[in-house]
Structure 1
Amino acid sequence: MKARLAASAALALGIAIGGSGCAMITYQATTEKYDASDGVSADVGTLDIRNILVVSEDGRDGNLVMTVVNTGEDDVTLEVQAVDGNASAELDIDAGETISLGTDQEDPLLLEGIDAEVGSLVPLYFQYDTEEGAEVKVPVLDGRLPEYQDLVP
C-alpha cells in the first residue's frame, strides 16, 4: 500500500515537473522589450518616444510620425534635429500629456531637408533642456502602404 502511494506521489510530481519544467528553464521571449511596429523608440529624460518614423515621397522632406508621452511633472520642449541634414523641429509637450503625431487629432511634424533615401534610416537626435539626448536611426517610408498614404508631405 505504501509502495502504491509513493508511486502515485512520484507520478504526480513527475507530471507536474514535466508540465511546467520548460517554463522554469526556458528563455522567455515575452520579457524582451521590442518595437512591434514599423517605427523605433527612444527614451529622453521623462519622455517616452515611441513608434518614430518618417514618411516621405522623395526623401528630401518628410513627415515625422511618433507618439510622445511626458511622464514628468514639467512641461518640456522637445527638439528634433537631423544629424546629417538641416532639418529640425520643436514640439511642446505638457506634463502628463501624450501626443501622437500623424493621427486624426494631431498632424505630423514636417522635417524639411532630411535628405534621406526612402527605405533607408535617417539619424535623428532628440533632446530637451539639459537632459541627455538620444540619437535614433529612424526608418524613412513612403506612401505605398495604405496607412501612410495620407501622411506623405
Structure 2
Amino acid sequence: MKQVTIYTDGACSGNPGPGGWGAVLIYGDKRKEISGGEPRTTNQRMEITAAIEALKALKEPCQVRLHSDSAYLINAFRQRWLDRWQRNGWQTINKKPVENQDLWQELLQLTTCHRVEWVKVRGHSDNAENNRCDELARAAITRLQR
C-alpha cells in the first residue's frame, strides 16, 4: 500500500455560518491541496468534511497518517466513540442523537478501504501543514462570502 500523509482543517465564520475546509495530501515528493466550503454549516462538520474529502481524493487503498487539530475528529476514532455510538444506535451516552451522523457514516465507509492512523496536532501553532490547511479553509469561506 502507498503511504500518504494527510493534514486537514475546518473553519467556520459564525457557528453555524459559512464554513470551509482544507486538506494537504503528501505522497513522496508529490503534494496536492484541496479545499471547499458550504454557505451554512458548523466548524465540526467542516473538520469531518476535510477528512472525508481528503480520503475521497485517494485513487487507491492507502496507508494514511491523517493529522488534524480537531479533538472531536481524532477522539472519535482513537477513543472509540464511533464504536460506542454505533452500538447505541447512533445515540450518545445521554441518549441523544449523535450530531453529524451522516458525515460520520460516510467517513467510516471510507476507512474500510484505507488504513488510517489518526494523529492529533496542535492548532494554530508551528505546524506548517496544519497552518496551510487553515489558510485553505479560510480562503474557501472568503470565496463563499463574495
Relative contact order, higher structure (CA 8 A, sep 6+):
2
Task: Report which of the two structures shows the higher radius of gyration computed on alpha carbons.
Answer: 1
User: Shared fold (TM-score greater than 0.5)?
Assistant: no
* Range class of TM-score, shorter chain: under 0.3
TM-score (norm 2): 0.26
The structure with more helix, counted as a fraction of residues: 2
TM-score w.r.t. the length of structure 1 is 0.26
